Structure 1
Amino acid sequence: MAVLFILVLMVLLNADQMVMSPNIGAIEQEFSISDAQIGLVASSFTVIGALVSLVWGYLADKYNRKNLLIYSILVGEIPCLMSAFSKSYGELFFWRALTGIGVGASFPIVYSMIGDMFDEVRRGRVVALISSSISIGSVFGMIVGGFLGPKYGWRIPFIVVSVPNIALAILSIFVLKEPRRGAFEKGIGELVQSGYVYPKIPKPSDYVKLIKVKTNLLLFLQGIAGTIPWGAIPYFLVEFFRRERSLSVETATLVFLVFGLGNIAGIILGGMWGSSLYARSKSLLPIFCGTTTALGVLFTIVTLNYLGSLVTLMLLGFIASFTASLTGPNVKFMLLNVNEPQDRGRIFSIFNLTDSLGTGFGKFAGGMMSVALGSLGAALKVSAYFWLICAVLLFVLVFYFSKDVEKLQKSMMELAKTSYTSKTSG
């Protein structure tokens, strides 16, 4: 029940990210702005939210995460509602920047909670579901924006996606419970489930320790590179089909919906397959991620170049999106399984920072490249090649991931022995 409720909250919250995308043309026309300026609005949304999430990640490792999640949703949804009443480019920029705070803050909180609700193998499947909320939310936002915007104006979609989540955030007070920190770690988990309070608390000096974990560092770096295409391609895709393939906004949104379904299917199945591979051999997981990421580049370029029938375009887009999405949930799965319970809020806040810097820059870079190259399609193709950097870094991870998992498990077993000795002697 708790996972389902969190999933709904995250779907609605992440709908904020893409609700503006189908109406880029209308907003640019009303405020007399360019692709580069509208890309800057999206960049502020992600980058400011990511910077603020560093603070929320630290708070998530120290305080009640249920309450923090409720606060973060309210912080994000109220400015989203106010975006509908923007009277200038400056006002829109301001409200979208504040909306990003809520999205960025929720990210480390939710994944920290999931890490303490399930064991090391089941986490992969649950992470896949929670990760899919980002894509489901994006698709939902695109549907609302794409079908309501042209008929009722670009402002109405902001109201539609924000008001329900404000109500659900209040309802969360009665539905959600705070999970016990460390309850599913090998060794210490048994003590925690018997009533023992997890003994470790976060310290500012721990940030250096987190970066020293090779798996963390490699996943951070690939996150920066990989989310450049994830920033530019989804954000400008509807406008690309409208502008350079002569599709209506509604038809382009429908095409995007099919792409989005491929993304959701890839995330869910990627997490399921990743968990199975992890159970067989931990080294298989980064191999799987590196291979599928490289294939995602190939299928994306083929899709962007295709000029044939709408049905075939949708099929190619589904395959490209599906392939490129298989890695996403497994990145988060790997982060959970190499970091201690008291570090997960901060590690996901740092990951969100690197992830959002790439996404935010990707949106801005997509707009800039469109202007420089004179073609939105060319800009999206250049963005796609950044996934190749991800593939290389994921293959390098084969040499470090298993070792980092074993180090964590050994640390938790030693903590259990020390804690049990202190408990019995006391």
Structure 2
Amino acid sequence: MGTMKSRKKILGVSLSLILINMAAIMERADENLLPSVYKEVSQAFNVGLADLGYLTFVRNFVQGLTSPLAGILVIHYDRPTVLAMGTVFWALSTAAVGVSRHFMQVAFWRAINGIGLAIVIPALQSFVADSYREGLRGTGFGMLSLVGSLGGIGGGVVATVMAGHEYWGVPGWRVAFIMMATLSILIGFLVFIFVIDPRSHAFSDAFDRNVLMEKRKVSKSIWRESWTAMKVVTKLHTFFSPPSGFDHNASAALLSLFAVGCSAGALFGGVIADRMSHLYPYSGRVMCAQFSAFMGIPFSWFLLTVIPQSVHSWFTFAATLLFMGLTISWCGAAVNAPVFAEVVPPEHRTMIYAFHRACEVSFSSFAAPLVGILSEKMYGYDPKSVHPDSGSAQEAFALSRGLLAMMAVPFGLCCLFYSPLYFVFKRDRDNVRLGSSK
């Protein structure tokens, strides 16, 4: 490389980690933009609930299909460069959604948005995995989730509040998309200029980086290296394992409380899982994951069936969403991400996070359209009957039943599917350690 990036710290914290967490903030903000303005998008393009679910499906499905791109790109580019590439994809597509005039244009740009997120998220996760020691990875991923959730709060709340206004004659939700895209490009540029890849730094301690890169280019093609990483990943047993009536400000506040609960819960869960992994090295994290997944069932039931669907229940909704977020947010940061880092060699970590993301979003992409289909076809949701300000009790009931079906059942299956880890995690981790010692 022509210039060497120096390691800088701000208040004792690595500048690279600060910028990586800022990228996570923008990524989560981008993810929360569209769901926060579903009502305005529905009115702008005259579409129903199932169509809005289709937008989420398209983005997630494309993201799942293209997630292995991240694993391939990091073979010949350092991760700051890969992160900058992904940021450009998601930022430009986000801005394009904000200026779209037809629903199919929105769908197309949401698909492009999925490509950007597919590149960024696995690279972010492997960067954090390489930046923390094994016993602290739960805390590290929890912190990443915590600051990312701040972006979720910012993206969701800002979009929700802006959606109720116009700026220079432009609907607020469109302005929010363009503004978020501009900030994302800025963060991507800073990451590309200042962030140092910890894996590159580790290599430079034992090898000259230029010699290493030339050796890799001569000895292996990108396709052979990609195939090797994919084979390592796929051999692992461990791997396969709002109510109506609230105004924009009240909805934004509820969204904020849930995001605060999830962000704090991810960090708290990460710390607890790190402690549990010291006490029970091969089962502690699995127990944390099953507890977190199970808690989603009673909270979903209480949130969607017990609390009266009324604006007068705001405080009950607020408390429920806060505590729900605190308990159901452990799996990713406290368990999945640290476990993957332990069962895969360092050079293939981006690929494992890419495969995990591919599987996760491919399956979850069906949730949004299924909620719409269940609500409309089984429970009688009619978007034309929803009053733009006061909503509709019947439609709120239909939507809540569709949501409950697509929350409680997956939470239960998630809890069940973690069980095989009690038997296969030890074997996979020991195999990696044995291979590293040779």
TM-score w.r.t. the length of structure 1 is 0.85
State the shift of 1:160 in Å: 2.0
Answering whether residue 434 of structure 2 is matched by residue 410 of structure 1, we say yes
Distance 2:174 2:313 in 1: 33
State the shift of 1:181 in Å: 5.7
Answering whether residue 238 of structure 2 is matched by residue 215 of structure 1, we say yes
Distance 1:182 1:172 in 2: 16
Q: Is 1:297–1:324's contact at 8 Å kept on the other side of the alignment? A: no
Greater alpha carbon shift after TM alignment, 153-162 vs 201-210 = 201-210
Distance 2:358 2:147 in 1: 19
The root-mean-square deviation of aligned C-alpha atoms, in Å, is 2.1
Answering whether residue 227 of structure 2 is matched by residue 204 of structure 1, we say yes
Q: Which residue of 2 aligns with 1:344?
A: 349
Aligned 1:26-425 pairs, distance under 5 A: 26-152=40-166, 153=171, 154-180=173-199, 183=202, 193-195=205-207, 202-218=225-241, 240-242=242-244, 246-282=245-281, 283-305=283-305, 306-307=307-308, 309-329=313-333, 330-372=335-377, 373-374=379-380, 375-385=398-408, 386-414=410-438
Distance 1:18 1:194 in 2: 42
Compared CA separation, residues 56 and 327, structure 1 to 2 (3 A): closer
Query: SS state of the match for residue 155, structure 1?
Result: helix
Q: Which residue of 1 aligns with 2:394?
A: none
State the shift of 1:193 in Å: 4.0
Compared CA separation, residues 401 and 192, structure 1 to 2 (3 A): farther
Query: SS state of the match for residue 79, structure 1?
Result: helix
Q: Is 1:294–1:391's contact at 8 Å kept on the other side of the alignment? A: yes
Letter in 2 for 1:171: L
Letter in 2 for 1:405: R
Compared CA separation, residues 182 and 327, structure 1 to 2 (3 A): farther
Give aligned pairs, total.
383
Q: Is 2:78–2:200's contact at 8 Å kept on the other side of the alignment? A: no
Query: SS state of the match for residue 99, structure 2?
Result: coil
* Deviation readout 1:307-353 (Å, 9 max, x if unpaired): 26322221111112221112221211111111111211111111111
Distance 1:160 1:49 in 2: 23
Q: Is 1:64–1:178's contact at 8 Å kept on the other side of the alignment? A: yes
Distance 1:274 1:61 in 2: 31
The percent identity for this pair of structures is 19
Distance 1:62 1:336 in 2: 21
Q: Is 1:46–1:104's contact at 8 Å kept on the other side of the alignment? A: no
Distance 1:292 1:14 in 2: 21
Distance 1:4 1:364 in 2: 36
TM-score w.r.t. the length of structure 2 is 0.82
Distance 1:405 1:311 in 2: 45
Compared CA separation, residues 23 and 114, structure 1 to 2 (3 A): closer
Distance 1:364 1:174 in 2: 40
Distance 1:165 1:295 in 2: 34
Q: Is 2:29–2:152's contact at 8 Å kept on the other side of the alignment? A: yes
Distance 1:104 1:67 in 2: 14
Letter in 2 for 1:390: C
* Deviation readout 1:347-378 (Å, 9 max, x if unpaired): 11111111111232111211111212221100
Distance 2:424 2:414 in 1: 16
Letter in 1 for 2:437: M
Q: Is 1:79–1:95's contact at 8 Å kept on the other side of the alignment? A: yes
Q: Is 1:241–1:252's contact at 8 Å kept on the other side of the alignment? A: no
* Deviation readout 1:99-119 (Å, 9 max, x if unpaired): 221111101112222232222
Letter in 2 for 1:255: L
Query: SS state of the match for residue 241, structure 1?
Result: coil
State the shift of 1:77 in Å: 0.4
Q: Is 2:24–2:124's contact at 8 Å kept on the other side of the alignment? A: no
State the shift of 1:250 in Å: 2.3
Q: Is 1:121–1:278's contact at 8 Å kept on the other side of the alignment? A: yes
Query: SS state of the match for residue 403, structure 1?
Result: helix
Compared CA separation, residues 382 and 33, structure 1 to 2 (3 A): same
Structure 1, unmatched stretches of 5+, are 184-190, 219-239, 415-426
Distance 2:136 2:207 in 1: 23
Q: Which residue of 1 aligns with 2:388?
A: none
Q: Is 1:60–1:112's contact at 8 Å kept on the other side of the alignment? A: no
Letter in 1 for 2:280: S
Compared CA separation, residues 52 and 14, structure 1 to 2 (3 A): same
Query: SS state of the match for residue 84, structure 1?
Result: helix
Distance 2:79 2:228 in 1: 22
Query: SS state of the match for residue 37, structure 2?
Result: helix
